Every structure is written in structure tokens, then in C-alpha cells.
Amino acid sequence: MLKIGGIEMKNQVVLAPMAGVCNPAFRLIAKEFGTGLVCAEMVSDKAIIHGNKRTREMLFVDEREKPLSLQIFGGDRESLVEAAKVVDQETNADIIDINMGCPVPKVTKCDAGARWLLDPNKIYEMVSAVVESVSKPVTVKMRIGWDSEHIYAVENARAVERAGGQAVSVHGRTREQLYTGHANWDIIKEVKEAVSIPVIGNGDVASPEDARRMLDLTNCDGVMIGRGALGNPWMLYRTIEYLQSGELLPDPSPEEKIRIAILHMDRLVALKGEAVAVREMRKHLAWYLKGLKGSARIKDAIMEETKRDDMVRILDQFVSQLHMVENDELSTSAASPAAIAQ
């Protein structure tokens, strides 16, 4: 099993720290679906130090989510260390993760996120400063490089290890790729062979079979699932079951998808209030509805809603209409000449 410092996970599956997604409402669902480790969305070191209300809410950890990794980012050593101390001493997170993979310009312009990928010496300096200041295990999430000409994944991972980092998660894309093209699992394998700390592979894991292939190819210690879990937490438990038993569980029914979507929304309402939660839930519902027959026609209606009960009404009507369509199709099939001939 995956073990980081003294913290042992019950399986190898990790939920990626996706911005705007991995708040307690979704993380708890992921944990209930069996995920070994859940990661909170990244929080700015400066925001943590200034301690505004919204940031403090982002540091909240429900005991049911544990073990949990809380991710911070920043480009200044002093402020990063101070933020890490807050996470260490004032939250019940189990692991402090440092982001050195975020590709967005507003982060990299601050000498943070993926900007670190160009300088293994800075990685060593920053990570060691944090490690020396906290008692919780420190990990790093990184990409393989800045661009195709600057891939220092092995050197960067070794710097993390020398600095006292307890694990490294490697997304197999460069900063330049963003989320396009293909993740390079061969480089994840090279990182795994170069360090003795746990390596968690990330990138292009869209099915349980992908997770199995990544583990077999790279020999990494864990597999991190990000976009594959958007509106689809079943991907997490299906992957866990497949890795453990080889059994590929079926996809959920439309009713089950909508039931979990409503649970997700209700937890968001409890967390953020109805007005904010319903607006935020619009994008999640688009993901939950993806692939369901006829869902395109209700997505526009969902994007206009501001009330929880109205959203639920639309979703319940959609499921009822799906049943009507399925029953009509069954009746037509049963009355067909081929069916009668049988």
C-alpha cells in the first residue's frame, strides 16, 4: 500500500488537488467511494498568512476525509514557510503538499507553481526550509518539466528527496502542454527509478484499466486521478476494485448519478450557502450528466437556476423522462416482428 511518512493509505488511489473542485463537499464523496488519499485544492501562501475568511474555510478538514493532503503554493521562501506552519499547527490535515506544477500565468508570474521546474536548486532550498519548520510530512506535486526543452523531472525529484520530502507526485505533462497532448509515463518511470521516496503517477488516467497500465509501466507507488473523477466519483471506487481484484464494476445508473449529484450539491449548500453553492454546482452537474441520453436539453435550464429545490426538480424530471423513454423503447422492442417471432 501507499505510505507517506508514517501515514499509510488503504489503497493506491489518490484524488488530485483540482482547483475549484476539491473542497470538502467533493472530497468527502471521494473518501466515501474508498479513495486512499484525498488532496485539497491549492491555497496561496500569502492568503494563508493574511488569514482572510474564505482562505481559512479552504483549510477546513472534515475528520471523515482523513488521511488528507493540503496543498500550498508560493514563490517566496519566508511566506511559504509561514504558511506551512499554519497548516502544520492549525489544521488537522495529515500531509503538507507543495505545488510546483500549476501552469497558469498568474501563478508562474509569482515565481510559484510550475516556475520551480526550471531550477532544482530552488526546489531543494524551498522544500528543505519547509521540512525543517513543520512536523507533518511534506510532499511535492510537479510536472515533468517547463517545456519539451527543459525536462528536469529526475533532477527535481532528487532535489525533493534530498530536501526531506516524503513523496512526489508527477504529472506526465510539461507546463507548456497544459492539459493537451499525452502524458509521458516513461518519465514518471524514470523518476521512480531515480528516487527511493514514494512516487505517485498522474496524467491520462481516465479508466481503471489506465490506472493498472500506469502502475505496471512505471512501477509507481500510487495513481492520482484528476479530470477522470469530475462528475464521476465512481471512477475512483471502480479503479480501487479493479486494482485489488481485477473486477471491472459496471457504470452507475442515471438514478445513482443524480442521487450523488444532489448529495454533492446539498453538501456544498451546507458549506457555502445556497446562492454560492448552486452557482458553483452548475459546472459539476454538467459533468455528472455527461453521457446520459438527452442531457443536453436540460443543461441550459440548469445554467439558469439559482435555487437548490428548482435544481432538484429539474434533475428528478429528467430521470423520470429517461424511464419513460426506456419503457417506450422496451415496449417497441417487445412488439417488433423479431420479438414476436421468438
Task: Please state, in angstroms and rounded to a whole number, the distance separating the CA atoms of residues 224 and 199.
Answer: 10
* Closest listed residue to residue 13, CA positions, set 192, 184, 244: 244
Angstrom distance (rounded) from CA 330 to CA 327: 5
H/E stretch holding 175: none
Distance CA 240, CA 208 (A): 8
- Measured distance CA(317)–CA(42) in Å, rounded: 37
62-66 own/partner pairs: CB under 8 Å, 24+ apart: 62/24, 62/27, 62/28, 63/92, 64/28, 64/31, 64/32, 65/24, 65/27, 65/28, 65/31, 65/38, 66/92, 66/94
Tell me how far CA of residue 257 lies from CA of 26, 260, 289, 290, 314, in angstroms: 14, 5, 8, 10, 14
* 68 Cβ contact partners less than 8 Å away, ≥ 6 residues apart: 27, 37, 38, 39, 40, 61, 93, 94, 95
Q: Which amino acid is at 17?
A: P
Whether 102 is a known active-site residue: answer yes
* CB count in 10 Å sphere of residue 18: 18
How far is 22 from 103, CA to CA, in rounded Å? 18
Contact 261, 290 (CB under 8 A): no
Among 264, 266, 256, residue whose Cα is nearest residue 285: 264
Helix-then-strand count for the chain, H and E: 15, 11
Marked catalytic residue, from 22, 102, 110, 220 = 102
Phi, psi at residue 331, to the nearest 5°? -65, -45
List active site positions. 102
